[in-house]
Chain A
Amino acid sequence: DTGVSQDPRHKITKRGQNVTFRCDPISEHNRLYWYRQTLGQGPEFLTYFQNEAQLEKSRLLSDRFSAERPKGSFSTLEIQRTEQGDSAMYLCASSRGTSGRPGEDTQYFGPGTRLTVL
């Protein structure tokens, strides 16, 4: 079990540029989540996948954001035309999924990607 990994760990970009982040979940986990965290706040949910299917998206996920998990393994989160308000920590988590019993499901988080938009 190597844990959830995210790449890059830090990204600095200029306003208007596109950025893409990658998340590699724990290998046997079929659920994958993306969260965003700004300074002093708890993480906020963005979207999640069950295998390759994107099952839920938050209102926070504007049309500039897109996430994929093409083969049910790693996932990418792309932000187009970045804005300064996109500056945040982007966290990925994975879980086994518990067949309709989310109350028992435990999520394992990666170290996050820190995005700074200048």
Chain B
Amino acid sequence: DAKTTQPNSMESNEEEPVHLPCNHSTISGTDYIHWYRQLPSQGPEYVIHGLTSNVNNRMASLAIAEDRKSSTLILHRATLRDAAVYYCILRLYGGSQGNLIFGKGTKLSVKP
């Protein structure tokens, strides 16, 4: 899998939008961009994924750069419950690889 780069940590205020960046300059044309998050003392949780177009779901939005070398996870209104480590992961479209390859992620702190 291609490598991703994320800031180690970010801070946000409650009820404000949060933009979590991820660089993946070596992404291939068939890599999907996935985001997972891990709340304290819990297993990781799927957030969103996309290939080329921006994506929205009930949890977040994913904005993908036109050249696909970077993406941004957007939490529209951060809550205290969004404090977690956020992982950006690339997954090959095809092939037999099944596992996720996690980096260190971005630790998001949310201040009341």
Contacts and interface: CB of A to CB of B under 8 A. Distances in A.
A binds B: yes
Contacts of B100: 33, 35, 43, 45, 107
Given A45-B101, A56-B99, 6 more contacts: A42-B102, A91-B44, A101-B93, A101-B94, A103-B51, A109-B43
Contacts of B31: 103
A105 B46 CA distance: 10
A4 B46 CA distance: 13
A56 B43 contact: no
A110 interface: yes
Interface string A78-118: 00000000000001010000001111111111111000000
Contacts of B30: 103
Contacts of B93: 101-104
Contacts, number: 78
B46 A102 contact: no
A48 interface: yes
B92 A109 contact: no
Nearest to A6: B43
9 contacts: A33-B98, A35-B99, A42-B87, A42-B105, A48-B99, A55-B98, A104-B49, A106-B49, A112-B42
A43 B49 contact: no
A23 B42 CA distance: 15
A109 B37 CA distance: 11
Contacts of B85: 42
Given A93-B43, A112-B43, A103 B98 contact: no
B45 A102 contact: no
A31 interface: yes
Interface in B87-108: 87, 91-105
